[in-house]
Amino acid sequence: MPEPESVPSAVPWWRDAAVYQVYPRSFADGDGDGVGDLAGIRARLPHLARLGVDAVWFNPWYPSPQKDGGYDITDYRAVDPVLGTLDEAEKLIAEAAGLGLHTIVDIVPNHVSDRHPWFRAALAAPPGSPERERFHFRDGRGEHGRLPPNNWRSEFGGLPWTRTADGQWYLHLFAAEQPDLNWDHPEVRAEHEAVLRFWFDRGAAGVRIDSAGLLVKDPDLPDLTPEGPHPYVDRDDLHPVYRSWRAVADSYHPPRALIGEVWVPDAERFARYLRPDELHTAFNFDFLARPWDATALRASIDSTLAAHEPVEAPATWVLANHDVTRTATRYGRADTRFDFAAKAFGTPTDLALGRRRARAAALLTLALPGSVYLYQGEELGLPEVEDLPPDRLRDPMHHRSGGTDPGRDGCRVPLPWSGDRPPYGFSTAPGAAEPWLPQPADWTALTVEAQTGDPDSMLELYRTALRLRRTAITGGLRWRPAPEGVLAFDRGIGFTCLVNLSPQPVPIDTPGELLLRSGPLTDGRLPSDTALWLGRA
Ligand code: GLC
């Protein structure tokens, strides 16, 4: 099935797309089992078209035991029966294309589920067997190999090694149910290229590549030390993998896009993934992690643009996703950075302040050059749900921390669509089961229905901003002189964005017609934590 051509344009869609991220289990439930599914998404596609985004990235929808929110996959060429069927996925991709929406599917190459046929075969086979070669099996250290093979730590906390019944250990950088693949094995490489083709053949316009910087390990799996190249993050020999994927993507018409989840702090190292024969774009986690502070955000914008320029790749701008604290909550805290290590239960939050800043941040982000990612529910201003009953928490980050890390369930609560009580239209089937994560009792004012038509709502702010982004904002970014704590820049010749992150109102001494503002002005001045878009005819 070919991916329908977009309106002919000199600029490929992925260079400046607004991409909406759908977490399928929490978007909309079509069959009433309390879990979001493809039928629910298909019924709600008009919401995305009306919102004004260009593409939709779907978190994994494959069969999975759900030990890590679907990132533990048993079959990369099928759809989890709880979510629907492959036939429905094909229809969904075609219907989205019919509404002008490109589809991006999530590819998870670093690891598979421990229930994947390859890993079951590896466990059933003896040490040293070809079946084990597709993974990282090693003997342990110490007496009788009782100690793990090296000193690494899991990204989710705890050991990244689990011992099997015959005494060998296997590597898993994430949960024990997510064994890491051996990317030095030709079958592993061939399999993933075949999976890319499988989804590109079904009309996917691109893939989001999970944990894209972690695939290739130093074959000796040496201890982690402060010196020398990291044994598994950002290895030089990872780049040929993406060159080969690029050739696959470029063999399609139109070419498909590769989008990497690359957590590499060094901007120059990060940009190496975006060379013209590698990935098209990668998520900008530096921007996401910065505090609500003009100097810090400007520094991130400048270093991002400077790093992308030599490789001629577009920047991406991301405020939130299914792994991090919701923007409205994060910006309402004393510490407005995002840091996995700093997450804690009971952090005080001023949600009114956080929402005001989230509105201003939306206008800042949507005005920047490049593509932008919008995580479902951000357009509604949803807060992090921090009082989920402990026995409902699913995230291995929570469980593997011994219960101290709140985990990522709080940003994955099912969306509120309509009505004044749970499930707020999330499930539309009569007699539907309770949503898989409980929704708060006070989300009535946050539903799509309640916000539609209210000019002061977050949803209408996003709708207007996304429409203007398409029509009124083009060209490179140029900073304007501005008071301390204020971000002021032009795009092209006819557009200015002002964001006041200082504690007091500032005068608006820029000419132009008011296009949009994130909050009311006071006496013609721009209040604290407010953003403004100006246009000139
Ligand atoms: C990525 C995903 C995250 C998942 C992890 C392991 O970081 O975004 O949700 O837990 O990879 O697959």
Amino acid letter, residue 276: P
Q: How many residues can be counted in the chain?
A: 537
Instruction: Output the CA 321–ligand 1 centroid distance in Å.
Output: 11
Instruction: Output the CA 71–ligand 1 centroid distance in Å.
Output: 6
Distances (CA, A) of 306 to 85, 225, 315: 44, 30, 10
CB 133 within 8 A of CB 147: no
- In which region does residue 154 sit, left (phi positive, over 0), alpha (psi from -120 to 50) or beta (all else)? beta
Residue 529 tokens, joined: 């934590």
For 12, other C-beta atoms within 10 Å of its C-beta total 14
- Pocket-testing residue among 174, 283, 324, ligand 1, by greatest number of atoms within 8 A of Cβ: 174
**Pairwise CA distance, residues 466 & 321, whole Å:** 18
Q: Which H or E run contains 106?
A: strand 102-107
- Pocket-testing residue among 57, 58, 67, 68, ligand 1, by greatest number of atoms within 8 A of Cβ: 68
- Pocket-testing residue among 323, 340, 412, ligand 1, by greatest number of atoms within 8 A of Cβ: 323
Residue 359 tokens, joined: 């509105």
Q: Of all protein residues, whose CA lies closest to atom 4 belonging to ligand 1?
A: 71
Amino acid letter, residue 277: D
Please give the order of strands across the beta sheet that includes 257-260: 281-282, 257-260, 206-209, 102-107, 55-58, 18-22, 371-375, 316-318
Instruction: Output the CA 211–ligand 1 centroid distance in Å.
Output: 7
Looking at residue 170, what is its pLDDT? 99
Q: Of all protein residues, whose CA lies closest to atom 7 belonging to ligand 1?
A: 211
For helices 86-98 and 38-51, what crossing angle results, to 10°? 10
Q: What is the pLDDT along the chain (537 residues), one digit of tens a residue?
A: 445 554 455 789 999 999 999 999 999 999 999 999 999 999 999 999 999 999 999 999 999 999 999 999 999 999 999 999 999 999 999 999 999 999 999 999 999 999 999 999 999 999 999 999 999 999 999 999 999 999 999 999 999 999 999 999 999 999 999 999 999 999 999 999 999 999 999 999 999 999 999 999 999 999 999 998 999 999 999 999 999 999 999 999 999 999 999 999 898 999 999 999 999 999 999 999 999 999 999 999 999 999 999 999 999 999 999 999 999 999 999 999 999 999 999 999 999 999 999 999 999 999 999 999 999 999 999 999 999 999 999 999 999 999 999 999 999 999 999 999 999 999 999 999 999 999 999 999 999 999 999 999 999 999 999 999 999 999 999 999 999 999 999 998 899 999 999 999 999 999 899 999 999 999 999 999 999 999 986
Distances (CA, A) of 268 to 155, 278, 419: 23, 15, 49
Locate the ligand 1 atom nearest the alpha carbon of residue 263 and give its number: 7
**Pairwise CA distance, residues 248 & 511, whole Å:** 48
Of 210, 278, 379, 384, the catalytic one is 210
Instruction: Output the CA 224–ligand 1 centroid distance in Å.
Output: 22
Q: Which residues sit opposite 138 in a β-bridge?
A: 169
Nearest to 60 by CA among 39, 42, 49, 75: 75
Q: Of all protein residues, whose CA lies closest to atom 2 belonging to ligand 1?
A: 210
Locate the ligand 1 atom nearest the alpha carbon of residue 71 and give its number: 12
Instruction: Output the CA 144–ligand 1 centroid distance in Å.
Output: 34
* DSSP character string of 415-430: PP-SSSSTTTTSB-ST
Name the residue with tokens 């009953």.
389
Give residues with Cβ within 8 angstroms of 401, minimum separation 6: 156, 157, 407
**Pairwise CA distance, residues 163 & 71, whole Å:** 22
Instruction: Output the CA 502–ligand 1 centroid distance in Å.
Output: 35
Does the pTM surpass 0.75? The reply is: yes
The verdict on whether 166 is a catalytic residue reads no
The SS3 of residue 90 is helix
- Pocket-testing residue among 71, 113, 233, ligand 1, by greatest number of atoms within 8 A of Cβ: 71
Q: Of all protein residues, whose CA lies closest to atom 3 belonging to ligand 1?
A: 323
Q: Which amino acids bring their CB within 6 angstroms of ligand 1?
A: 68-69, 71, 108, 174, 210-211, 261, 322-323
Instruction: Output the CA 370–ligand 1 centroid distance in Å.
Output: 24
Of 106, 177, 180, 261, the catalytic one is 261
* DSSP character string of 304-323: HHHHHGGGTPPPEEES--TT
**Would you call the peptide bond into 4 cis, given omega within 30 degrees of 0 as the criterion?**
no
Locate the ligand 1 atom nearest the alpha carbon of residue 110 and give its number: 12
Nearest to 268 by CA among 317, 227, 230, 307: 307
Locate the ligand 1 atom nearest the alpha carbon of residue 111 and give its number: 12
Amino acid letter, residue 290: R
**Pairwise CA distance, residues 439 & 36, whole Å:** 13
The verdict on whether 210 is a catalytic residue reads yes
- Pocket-testing residue among 58, 210, 214, ligand 1, by greatest number of atoms within 8 A of Cβ: 210
pLDDT, tens digit, 9 for 90 and up, residues 301-358:
999 999 999 999 999 999 999 999 999 999 999 999 999 999 999 999 999 999 999 9
CB 532 within 8 A of CB 508: yes
Residue 11 C-beta-side C-alpha neighbours within 13 Å: 14
Instruction: Output the CA 72–ligand 1 centroid distance in Å.
Output: 9
Q: How many helices (H) and strands (E) does the chain have?
A: 14, 18
Locate the ligand 1 atom nearest the alpha carbon of residue 68 and give its number: 10
Instruction: Output the CA 233–ligand 1 centroid distance in Å.
Output: 15
Q: Of all protein residues, whose CA lies closest to atom 9 belonging to ligand 1?
A: 323
Locate the ligand 1 atom nearest the alpha carbon of residue 397 and give its number: 10
Looking at residue 2, what is its pLDDT? 47
Q: Of all protein residues, whose CA lies closest to atom 12 belonging to ligand 1?
A: 71
Looking at residue 9, what is its pLDDT? 59
Name the residue with tokens 């593409």.
55
Locate the ligand 1 atom nearest the alpha carbon of residue 322 and give its number: 9
CB 71 within 8 A of CB 178: yes
Name the residue with tokens 């060998």.
168
